[in-house]
Amino acid sequence: MTTFALVPGAGTDTWYWGPLVRELTRRGHRAVPVELPCDDDAAGLEDYADAVVAAVEGAEDLVVVAHSFGGFSAPLVCDRIAVRELVLVTAMVPQPGESAAQWGAATGSGAALAEQAARDGRDPDDVVGLFYHDVDEAVANEALRHERDQSATPWNQPWPRESWPEVPTRYLLCREDKLFPAAFVRTMLARRLRGVVPEMVSGGHHPMLSHPGELAAALLGR
């Protein structure tokens, strides 16, 4: 049995992982959605990594799954406990000394977002159109209710590692993601995680809500 530590993105709670937890559990595995102290101004990236470790204490076959901003804290978990695999789900990939606040300009994600919105004929500030365009209205409304305040503390901290951890890493690229479009992700990975070839899955920025079965299968390598 594999334990999957599910590390959320910015300003979200464990509810978002619910459909994926059910899919992985049904397949005989343990899935642990991690509650991060995202609204605590005293908590930084190291504290986020500590929260992941505390949530999966005792796990022997551990896969860490990082969503979006989780790409900044999940690699730090690999310094603390044994991790078999690190899976990035439409996640940010930092470089040493770079903060998440700097990441957008450094990678060109802001321009990619604006270009995607223009192609879609969509207001780039439309939260539902950006994040929840591939789920039904009831799910989108519930997701909005579960959004949390995100402290700027970890967002402004330089990424503390000197290099990417020596842990097998996969990247799941979401085909319909409006925040991190496919072409942008491929370019980012080619520059920042050479040798990691993205694997395509269905869904927008929250595939755990829109395509949990397909995401579970991808995490299991099927």
Indicate the domain borders of the chain.
3-219
Residues in contact with 9: Cβ distance below 8 Å, sequence separation at least 6, in sequence order? 67, 68, 69, 70, 91
Predicted local distance difference test score (pLDDT) of residue 19: 98
Rounded distance between C-alpha atoms, residue 177 and residue 111, angstroms: 15
SS3 for the chain, per residue? Answer: CCEEEEECCCCCCHHHHHHHHHHHHHCCCEEEECCCCCCCCCCCHHHHHHHHHHHCCCCCCEEEEEECCHHHHHHHHCCCCCCCEEEEECCCCCCCCCCHHHHHHHHCHHHHHHHHHHHHCCCCCCHHHHHCCCCCHHHHHHHHHCCCCCCCHHHHCCCCCCCCCCCCEEEEEECCCCCCCHHHHHHHHHHHCCCCCCEEECCCCCHHHHCHHHHHHHHCCC
Its pTM stands at 0.96
CATH superfamily of 3-219: Alpha/Beta hydrolase fold, catalytic domain (3.40.50.1820)
pLDDT in tens, 94-145: 999 999 999 999 999 999 999 999 999 998 889 999 999 999 999 999 999 9
* Residuewise pLDDT in 10s, the chain (222 residues): 999 999 999 999 999 999 999 999 999 999 999 999 999 999 999 999 999 999 999 898 999 999 999 999 999 999 999 999 999 999 999 999 999 999 999 999 999 999 999 999 998 889 999 999 999 999 999 999 999 999 999 999 999 999 999 999 999 999 999 999 999 999 999 999 999 999 999 999 999 999 999 999 999 986
